[in-house]
Amino acid sequence: MSDYYAFRKLTVAVRGHLLVLIGKPGVWSWEKADAGSLALLEVAEIGPDDVVLDLGCGTGILGAAAAKLAPRGQVTLVDCHVAAVACARQTLAANSLTNASVSLADGVAGLPQASFDLVLSHLPRGRAVQEELIYGAAWVLKPGGRFYFVAHRQAGVKEAIAYARAVFGQCGVVRQKKGYHVALALKPPTRHLSPPAESYRVMTHAVELDGIPTTLVSKPGVFAWDRLDDGTAALVQAMEINPSDGVLDLGCGTGLAGVAAARRAPEGKVVLVDADLRAVESARRTLAANHIANGTVLLSDCASVFFHDAARQVFDVVITNPPFHQGVGVDYEVACQFILDAARILRRGGRLFLVANRFLRYRELIRRAFGNVEVVYSDNRYQVFTARAVKRQ
């Protein structure tokens, strides 16, 4: 397993320029330049004075290439994932690009209407997320502005193109490569749009935790944004929380497991962390909606937020439902680091509770990190593992 927190360098040729990309585990397509982004860059018309937005920048390949091709323009890169933002910033620095900047943001939030000549985006999976990004692109484009986007056919690109056609009035495929479709939409001068709507939704009493009706506040793009998923339900059922425990919810998502922990530890403190800005905001809103006063939500790549201070917080319990998908297939990098960070952040005798699909091979990872592991819950889909920290790492 590679060093999760180490950045890697990759060099690719784009439109006659050598481009240095900086990536790391936990960021999509960190090991190689993905075929979809390269296909988009083959056909995108980028003028030397263009004001460009890279929407969901990842490692920064689209934005950095645009900055090279628009030397008198200005490029803004945005992403909602804290590790992606760190990579994109390093990508710009590695290419000495001074006409570009990176921001941590949820889509086009905070960007003014009609402010860009060009928007570029490699759309993620999820129809609702795609539609939010497409509408946001239309909102920030100037009249006559261009929106190039790419997605794989397995990620619903045909539906995305149909939605873009409805929003812009016109949209068509300009390139196909290795299952990817690159599409171009033009914003007509007469197109008038309403501001993007508030996308967080309040689901009152849609969930029960420990028999208590619980309000969930979230949005598409956050894992299990509209429900208590079965894995988290298993984790909540199996985790053991004492009234005065200090608890870390690692990769908190919507915050439901953290809410349950906070209720069980009324004399303790619960900290929820996630690398995705949307999850952090969801968890904050969920805690507030349920009047949780002993919970705090922080943005963090795994548990790294606690490692910058010599007097870092140490916890009695770590609870987690770690992510394992990145694109297609199974990726253990983030989950492995969750386990290693849990061993590092727990006090001596502290407990880990981790839920996973039965097919995921976490038992040996936990045993290597902690020296012990047990299964405290099992059904035909999920297992909850526990381990005890025998010494500080």
> Which amino acid type is present at position 366?
I
Q: How far apart are CA 325 and CA 380, in angstroms?
A: 20
What is the average pLDDT across 357-376? 94
At 325 the pLDDT is 61
Q: How far apart are CA 370 and CA 390, in angstroms?
A: 7
Query: Would you kindly state where each structural domain of the chain is located, as residue ranges?
Result: 8-186, 201-388
Q: Report, in angstroms and rounded to the nearest whole number, the Rg of the chain calculated over CA atoms.
A: 22
Q: What is the CATH number of domain 8-186?
A: 3.40.50.150
Read off the tokens for 19: 């481009």
pLDDT digits (tens, 9 = 90+) for 105-161: 999 999 999 999 999 999 999 999 999 999 999 999 999 999 999 999 999 999 999
pLDDT digits (tens, 9 = 90+) for 286-295: 999 999 999 9
Look at residues 131, 122, 116, 123 and name the one whose alpha carbon lies nearest to residue 50: 116
pLDDT digits (tens, 9 = 90+) for 199-240: 999 998 779 999 999 999 999 999 999 999 999 999 999 999
Contacts of 67 (CB under 8 A, 6+ apart): 52, 73, 75, 92, 95, 97, 99, 100
pTM of the model: 0.95
Quick check: do 8-186 and 201-388 share a fold?
Answer: yes
The fourth-level CATH superfamily of domain 201-388 is: Vaccinia Virus protein VP39 (3.40.50.150)
